[in-house]
Structure 1
Amino acid sequence: MSRKPGIKIVSGNSNRPLAEAIGAYLQTPLTKASVRRFADMEIFVEIQENVRGEDVYIVQSTSFPTNDHLMELLIICDALRRSSAKRISAVIPYFGYARQDRRSGSRTPISAKLVANLITQAGADRVMTLDLHAGQIQGFFDIPTDNLFAAPLLAKDIKDNRDIADVMVVSPDVGGVVRARALAKRIDAQLAIVDKRRERPGESEVMNVIGDVEGKSCILVDDIVDSGGTLVNAAEALLARGAKDVSAYITHGVLSGGAVARITASKLKELVITDSILPTEAVRVARNIRTLSVASLIGEAIARTATEESVSSLFD
């Protein structure tokens, strides 16, 4: 990949290793910038290179601590806008607040829409993200928004490491069926669904498995793993129905609280996540958690955006 003229890549503090890997793919060193804190924890940004008239891409996941990383993104956008950058693209591998995409009850916010407004008002001209929790969030932005998919990357890893004849793709809940079906189609595998339901208030959830998983290597597919409880319970339900083994392929490894310990102690053979969120030390040393890099996928999407080529054709 030759260096794309006019491209500048700026990294916040949320996932600098991923930004560096994207830069390496594009053979473009990161633009020198300082993103630091004052004594009272206010964020200060200084772009230390000329960006006037440039096509600039900010790589910043809004992962934990979500609000700090979101503010970094907004302030970097403002700094670039005031530095006369020609076009500012916010590359957000993990879009925080995406699970608040609708009103969950009376007098509750739609925080994903608020965040979209903030990013737009800060000066972003376009947004690029990966496996949005809800596709309709693209419509919350009034600027061009590309939602990339990790499915090609996950499918390749499954084909390289497993006997496809024994594989069955499983959605851990009814809401994730579309995502699981898309991956199953890529690897020509069958699909099963874990249907969770609580028969009566106060009783534990009952896991109903829809599909014959006996003797199959089951692969749970989802966009986010947070506490890990759903995955662990789904794995136990599948094994109880005769599955040979259970692994999981999840795009965003939020893994909050005691999730890593829960996954490590579970019957999951393997959890495969991407580096859309910077892996913690606990994730890196966990015996059954593995990380795939999305740097080449995002790098190629940036290259195509910069040269006005099709991004959607990446997923055909």
Structure 2
Amino acid sequence: MLSHRPLLFALQGSEDYATAVAQRLGCALALHEERDYEDGEHKCRPLDSVNGREVVVFHSLYGDDRQSANDKLCRLLFFCGALKDAGARHVQVVTPYLCYGRKDRRSQPQDPTITRYVATLIEACGIDRLMALEVHNPAAFDNAFRIPARNVQCAELFARHFARHVGDADVVAVSPDSGGAKRAEQFRQALERQLGRPVGSALMEKHRVHMTLTGTLLVGDVAGKTAIVFDDLISTGETLKRAGLACQRDGAARIFAAATHGLFTNGEQLFDPPLFEHIAIADGIPPFRLSTDCVKQHVHVIDSTALIATLLAENGAFECD
């Protein structure tokens, strides 16, 4: 029955994404209130009754000019705690971008493993299930959580996109570092299925000491081919740019790039001068740090809401339109 379908909530900043998913599921977002106090504190509460209901909460945990990643995480935790206190039977969180995914291991003595701390906070607030889009380290993500937590991979989405752009040329999927080799390989296999012909692979050498990147070796043949540099996120863009320049140096005929999460923390520096024919990103983080003209010229935003709607529908409570 319709009255037993899950309630969908979207916290401030994630309304557009959640609305698109809700429309695909044939429903509207539930009502809630967010109130800011003069000293910076806040409260969130549902306005629709959640007692005995299954609830899905959308919130993408990236920092923007309104709220930091910490602010958004805090609001998400408090809101989910309020849902449980109000009698929600089951709370699932969909976070297109999960913050602190890059601090997943100790690289120096006494380093924090913040990915695990975030998982502990999420579990402590009564969240029953989590769905995140393309996490930075799937193994660390799996090990951090004791609740069901799903990493939604986007390789197929990007493969369908680039299959329409590469034509009949030889194609190479390039990982910009060794840590992303498995992710790039999943993309390579997906693109190979889409194209129905072999796709090559290449790997860029990268070493990081604090904020300094080194390494110039590109392993793999890109000469005369279409190279697609594939990563999970773009922050400053330096990792992506180094790999693109190496492809250019080694004779790639065309160069594209893709990353699920486009943070673009250095603004438009990545595009000055343009190196890639275009960069494809998913829509979990809108490219708000880029001008409209820059996005039109250099960025393709890929819709991931259909994928999320399909996964939510798998439990039988929804039917995808």
Same fold (TM over 0.5): yes
Question: Does residue 126 of structure 1 match 2:134?
Answer: no
Q: C-alpha deviations, 1:46-65, integer Å up to 9, x for none?
A: 21111112111111111111
The amino acid across from 1:44 in the alignment is K
Give TM-score, length-normalised by structure 2. Answer: 0.89
Question: Does residue 262 of structure 1 match 2:261?
Answer: no
**Residue of 173, 179, 183 corresponding to 1:175:** 179
Partner of 1:140: 144
Question: Does residue 294 of structure 1 match 2:293?
Answer: no
**Cα 1:308/1:235, change in 2 over 3 Å:** same
Please give the secondary structure, in 2, of the residue aligned with 1:120: helix
1:265 offset after TM fit, Å? 2.7
Partner of 2:102: 99
Question: Does residue 69 of structure 1 match 2:72?
Answer: yes
Partner of 1:31: 30
Q: Which runs of 5 or more structure 1 residues have no equivalent in the other structure?
A: 310-316
Q: C-alpha deviations, 1:143-194, integer Å up to 9, x for none?
A: 1111111111111111122225432111011111111111111122111111
Partner of 2:18: 19
**Residue of 199, 209, 212 corresponding to 2:218:** 209
Give structure 1 regions of 4+ aligned residues with deviation exceeding 6 angstroms: 200-204
1:262 offset after TM fit, Å? 2.3
Partner of 1:78: 81
Please give the secondary structure, in 2, of the residue aligned with 1:161: coil
Residues 267-286 of structure 1: pairs in structure 2 closer than 5 A: 267-280=275-288, 282=290, 284-286=292-294
Please give the secondary structure, in 1, of the residue aligned with 2:218: strand
1:307 offset after TM fit, Å? 4.4
1:35 offset after TM fit, Å? 2.0
Residues 39-50 of structure 1: pairs in structure 2 closer than 5 A: 39-50=38-49
Residues 186-225 of structure 1: pairs in structure 2 closer than 5 A: 186-188=190-192, 189-197=199-207, 205-225=214-234
Please give the secondary structure, in 2, of the residue aligned with 1:305: coil
Number of aligned pairs? 306
Q: C-alpha deviations, 1:230-258, integer Å up to 9, x for none?
A: 111211111111001211110111211x2
1:204 offset after TM fit, Å? 7.3
Distance 1:234 1:8 in 2: 44
**Residue of 163, 167, 170 corresponding to 1:166:** 170
What value does the CA root-mean-square deviation take over the aligned residues? 2.4
Q: Which runs of 5 or more structure 2 residues have no equivalent in the other structure?
A: 193-198
Please give the secondary structure, in 2, of the residue aligned with 1:187: helix
Counting aligned pairs with the same residue, the percent is 29
Distance 1:147 1:50 in 2: 30
